[in-house]
């Protein structure tokens, strides 16, 4: 389905209690390019803060508080999602009194659609990043508590129910799709979000007038993202080459896709110690060489990226990393794990390096790249080209319109068959 060839533009409503967030850029682009009539449903506070620039925002009021503790620990995420879904139900019902919605695109937790099945004529698309932490994985060195493990069952139940009932499911990577039971994967499509790359400044290959710098960038400094591996690699590199500098960008106190926080609290009772601080204590040489820049404002983030020659992504777990796409799109020289999703966007020795996690390989590769600016330049150019061809908004917009059209076809087939699902 393409809105350019249709007699009328489809009405597409995106939903997320977090804004700016998932699909905001896609929503704006489809509207600006006249591909679809789009709206974004979010909370009243987000509407108020952003409506001057985004007049197509629409408010829904969750049925109770969605931050802080919920009524029952083991179903807290499901309860929060229910409050969101109940408020969304009312907002969609009121909106559809004036305007028919063709497609609803919902975040599986922050815009949960589970109370909308059978309540709207719109095709429902659920975006599921991953179904549960059980499928996502965690470092066995930092396991979940029994209570956290049991809680995860409810989140998985909510997500898999959405796979069954939605007209289409979108995951950000094939790695993420593989976490969904094979019997349900026929309803799942893979598409990462698009990016507005027009303002991204290219990361230039530095000359010899500045220190060679190795960087790590992630929202959270967690074992899932590989900050512990990075610190160990930095420690080894510092012993071999005292001239290399290191920069870590990210919030060491942010919530993470893992369970390190409770492990650190148990190891350092009575102290306020982050996982990053724990790593600084066990890797003292790296601690003296690594600058922890924190979570930066965007202009400072851009400036800091310019000073990094090689980025390391030694991650263990994950299903997508928007920051990695941006760094590749800016022409960053990247070494990443060959585990999980990086292999979907990095072709080894073409637009970056993919390595198994044997630390010796990483140390050797960094030292090799330090002495080979021409190879770094090749990776940089290919990385930018790949990102433009695969993830720019103008490229993914047509793919999304095709997926939304597929959801409409699936909905029509479902109605024609009078099936519960």
Q: What is the CATH number of the domain that holds 35?
A: 3.40.50.2000
Q: What is the pLDDT of residues 321-356, one digit of tens each?
A: 889 999 999 999 999 999 889 999 999 999 999 999
- The per-residue pLDDT for 54 is 85
Same domain, 141 and 287: no
Residue 112 shares a structural domain with residue 58: yes
Q: Do 375 and 406 belong together in one domain? A: no
Question: In terms of domains, do 407 and 313 share one?
Answer: no
Residues 103/408, Cβ–Cβ less than 8 Å: yes
- Quote the pLDDT of residue 206: 65
Same structural domain, 223 and 292: yes
Domain boundaries, position 15: 11-194+393-417
What is the per-residue pLDDT for 7? 55
Closest CA to 293 of 303, 278, 281, 283: 303
Per residue in 23-74, pLDDT (tens digit) is 999 999 999 999 999 999 999 999 999 988 788 999 999 999 998 887 899 9
Q: What are the tens digits of pLDDT across the range 85-105?
A: 999 999 999 999 999 999 999
Structure confidence by residue, pLDDT tens digits, 239-256: 999 999 999 999 999 988
Instruction: Evaluate the CA torsion angle 108, 112, 113, 114 in order and state its sign.
Output: positive
User: Do residues 80 and 167 share a domain?
Assistant: yes
Q: What is the DSSP string of 382-403?
A: HHHHHHHHHHBHHHHHHHHHHH
Total domains present in the chain: 2
What strands lie across the sheet with 334-337, from one edge to the other?
A: 290-294, 245-251, 213-220, 310-313, 334-337, 353-355
Query: Are 239 and 180 in the same domain?
Result: no
The answer to whether residue 387 is domain-embedded is yes
pTM: 0.92
3: pLDDT strictly greater than 80: no
- The answer to whether 239 touches 363, Cβ cutoff 8 Å, is no
Share above pLDDT 90 across residues of the chain, in percent, rounded to a whole number: 88
Sign of CA dihedral 216, 220, 223, 228: positive
User: Does any domain span residue 6?
Assistant: no
| Mean pLDDT lowest among 56-65, 110-119, 207-216, 379-388 | 207-216
User: Confidence band (pLDDT; 50, 70, 90) for 195?
Assistant: very high
CA distance 159 to 174: 17
Same domain flag for 366 and 317: yes
pLDDT confidence band for 1 (50 / 70 / 90): very low
Inside any domain, residue 274: yes
Say whether both 362 and 399 belong to one domain: no
> What's the pLDDT at 255?
87
- Same-domain status, 318 and 255: yes
Tens digit of pLDDT for each residue in 266-305? 999 999 999 999 999 999 999 999 999 999 999 999 999 9
Same domain, 130 and 181: yes
Q: pLDDT per residue over 120-156, tens digit each?
A: 999 999 999 999 999 999 999 999 999 999 999 999 9
| Percent of all residues in the chain with a pLDDT value above 70, rounded to a whole number | 96
For residue 200, being part of any structural domain is answered with no
**pLDDT value for 6:** 46
Q: What is the DSSP letter of 421?
A: -
pLDDT score of 2 more than 80: no
To the nearest whole number, what is the mean pLDDT of the chain?
A: 93
CB atoms within 10 A of CB 71: 8
Torsion of CA 139, 257, 193, 301, to 10 degrees: -100
What's the pLDDT score for residue 70? 79
Q: What is the mean pLDDT of residues 178-186?
A: 97
Sheet holding 37-42, edge to edge: 57-59, 37-42, 11-15, 103-107, 123-127, 168-171, 188-190
Is the predicted pLDDT of residue 167 greater than 90, yes or no? Answer: yes
Residue 119 shares a structural domain with residue 240: no
């Amino acid at each position: 389905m393409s809105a350019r060839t249709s007699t009328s533009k489809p009405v597409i409503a995106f939903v997320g209690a977090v804004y700016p967030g998932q699909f905001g850029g896609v929503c704006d682009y489809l509207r600006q390019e006249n591909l679809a009539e789009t709206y974004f449903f979010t909370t009243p506070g987000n509407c108020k803060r952003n409506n001057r620039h985004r007049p197509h925002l629409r408010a829904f009021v969750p049925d109770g508080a969605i931050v802080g503790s919920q009524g029952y620990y083991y179903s807290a995420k499901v309860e929060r999602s229910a409050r969101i879904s109940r408020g969304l139900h009312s907002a969609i019902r009121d909106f559809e009194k004036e305007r028919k919605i063709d497609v609803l695109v919902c975040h599986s937790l922050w815009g949960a659609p589970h109370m909308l099945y059978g309540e709207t004529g719109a095709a429902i698309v659920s975006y599921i990043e991953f179904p549960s932490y059980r499928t996502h994985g965690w470092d066995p060195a930092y396991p979940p508590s029994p209570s956290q493990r049991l809680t995860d069952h409810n989140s998985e139940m909510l997500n898999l129910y959405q796979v069954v009932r939605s007209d289409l499911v979108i995951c950000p990577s094939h790695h993420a799709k593989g976490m969904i039971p094979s019997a349900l994967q026929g309803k799942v499509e893979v598409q990462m979000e698009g990016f507005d790359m027009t303002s991204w400044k290219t990361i230039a290959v530095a000359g010899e007038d500045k220190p060679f710098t190795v960087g790590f960038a992630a929202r959270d400094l967690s074992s899932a993202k590989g900050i512990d591996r990075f610190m160990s690699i930095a420690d080894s590199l510092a012993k071999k080459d005292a001239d290399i500098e290191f920069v870590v960008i990210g919030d060491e106190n942010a919530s993470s896709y893992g369970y390190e926080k409770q492990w650190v609290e148990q190891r350092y009772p009575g102290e306020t110690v982050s996982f990053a601080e724990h790593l600084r204590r066990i890797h003292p040489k790296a601690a003296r060489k690594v600058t922890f820049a924190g979570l930066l404002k965007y202009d400072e983030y851009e400036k800091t990226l310019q000073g990094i020659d090689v980025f390391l992504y030694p991650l263990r777990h994950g299903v997508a990393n928007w920051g990695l796409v941006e760094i590749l799109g800016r022409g960053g020289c990247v070494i990443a794990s060959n585990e999980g999703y990086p292999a979907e966007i990095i072709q080894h020795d073409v637009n970056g390096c993919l390595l198994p996690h044997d630390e010796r390989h990483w140390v050797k590769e960094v030292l090799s790249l330090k002495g080979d600016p021409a190879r770094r330049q090749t990776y940089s150019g290919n990385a930018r080209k790949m990102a433009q061809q695969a993830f720019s908004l103008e490229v993914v917009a047509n793919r999304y319109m095709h997926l939304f059209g597929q959801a409409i076809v699936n909905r029509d087939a479902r109605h024609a068959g009078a099936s519960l699902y």
